[in-house]
């Protein structure tokens, strides 16, 4: 039941009064029916409004839930895509990890060499005496552990090629060089001083790094 204010009384009806109700019982009944119908109509409107509000609340709740689910799905897919992308990225080779001697030629004996200046003269034969400059290191070319240098003394070194007067790596290298040629050579210990070392300066098993130059044949 709905309690209606007086403004809901039909406008065509005369102002409510005790005399009208007593004099016209039929009209009073009709007014009562009209009021009841209007109350029913208002009740229906209120119920419909409540239903719409409930529907909207349900829809909003569903939308929030769907939005939350979609957000979770989006984050999960984004994480998966990022992981896939990181796996698919090519690996970058850092220059420090590369072999610094990749351009060197390795002979059957294990010597490595790189020609730094081409020569244009003759190649010495076994037993010929040659004149050469050299600098030697224990820790790589231009390293801190330089153990000897004819250049520092400004006095070339002389020896007979292939006669065993020098270490094996020198005989091998100078026996294939042209006059005027300069090389960087890397000698494993078996082509240098082996396990015994030399003079308390070169330890046993050391790999030696030489910058050598053939100046001439005597």
134 is known as an active-site residue: yes
CA distance to 43, 147, 192, 196, 197, per residue, from 200 (Å)? 113, 11, 14, 10, 7
Q: Which of 193, 202, 209, 211 is catalytic?
A: 193
Q: Which one is catalytic: 134, 174, 186, 211?
A: 134
Q: Catalytic residue at 193?
A: yes
Q: Distance between CA 128 and CA 159 in Å, rounded?
A: 8
Catalytic residue flag (residue 21): no
Selected catalytic residue, list 123, 167, 179, 217: 167
CA 153 vs. chain centroid, Å, equals: 50
Point out the catalytic residue in the list 9, 35, 104, 148: 148
Question: Is 167 an active-site residue?
Answer: yes
- Single out the catalytic residue among 113, 174, 209, 210: 210
- For residues 133 and 156, the answer to whether their CB atoms sit within 8 Å is yes
Catalytic entry in 101, 141, 147, 157: 147
**Residues ≥6 apart with Cβ < 8 Å to 23:** none
> Active-site residue 101, yes or no?
no
Dihedral, CA of residue 210, residue 159, residue 193 and residue 164, to nearest 10: 140
- Told to judge if 35 belongs to the known catalytic residues of this protein, a careful annotator would answer no
Residues involved in catalysis: 134, 147-148, 167, 193, 210
């Amino acid at each position: 039941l709905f309690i209606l204010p007086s403004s809901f009384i039909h406008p065509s009806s005369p102002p409510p009064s005790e005399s009208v109700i007593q004099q016209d019982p039929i009209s009073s009944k009709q007014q009562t029916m009209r009021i009841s119908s209007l109350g029913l109509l208002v009740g229906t409107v209120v119920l419909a409004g409540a239903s719409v509000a409930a529907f909207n609340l349900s829809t909003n709740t569903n939308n929030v839930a769907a939005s939350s689910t979609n957000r979770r799905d989006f984050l999960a897919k984004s994480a998966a895509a990022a992981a896939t992308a990181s796996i698919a990225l090519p690996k970058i080779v850092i220059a420090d990890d590369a072999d610094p001697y990749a351009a060197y030629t390795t002979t059957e004996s294990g010597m490595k060499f790189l020609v730094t200046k081409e020569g244009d003269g003759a190649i010495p034969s076994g037993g010929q005496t040659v004149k050469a400059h050299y600098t030697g290191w224990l820790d790589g070319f231009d390293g801190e552990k330089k153990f000897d240098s004819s250049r520092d003394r400004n006095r070339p070194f002389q020896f007979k090629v292939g006669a065993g007067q020098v270490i094996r790596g020198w005989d091998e290298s100078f026996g294939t060089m042209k006059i005027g040629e300069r090389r960087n050579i890397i000698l494993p210990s078996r082509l240098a001083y082996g396990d015994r070392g030399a003079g308390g300066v070169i330890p046993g098993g050391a790999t030696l790094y030489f910058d050598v130059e053939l100046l001439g044949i005597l």
